[in-house]
Amino acid sequence: MSSLIITNDNFESEVLQSSVPVLLDFWAPWCGPCKMVGPVIDEIAGEYSGKVKVGKINVDEDAALAEQHGITSIPTLILYKDGAPVNKKSGAAPKNDIIALFKNLI
């Protein structure tokens, strides 16, 4: 399974109402570090399918969501659980660091 595309239209149903933790990746196609982290995020989506939902938010296409979340640098990862943000990490990170954002919640 690959990552979901999260937009303003599906944010509430896919993130806020999710029964499992949701890892959001705020990214842009022109961002070098985002390109490095992207395949790792997709890998995690496959490995943790059913336990964690993984979504990507393109900050150029959904600037309002990025602004709502106070995104000032990308990539930024935010973990939601029970409709609220519970963890955040900015910048490119190794796979183990990304998994550590949600590992204790599943």
Q: Are 60 and 29 in contact (CB under 8 A)?
A: yes
The amino acid that residue 79 corresponds to is L
Q: Which residues are catalytic?
A: 31, 34
Output the furthest CA–CA distance in the chain (Å, rounded).
32
79's tokens = 């973990």
* Residue closest to 78 by CA, chosen among 88, 66, 90: 88
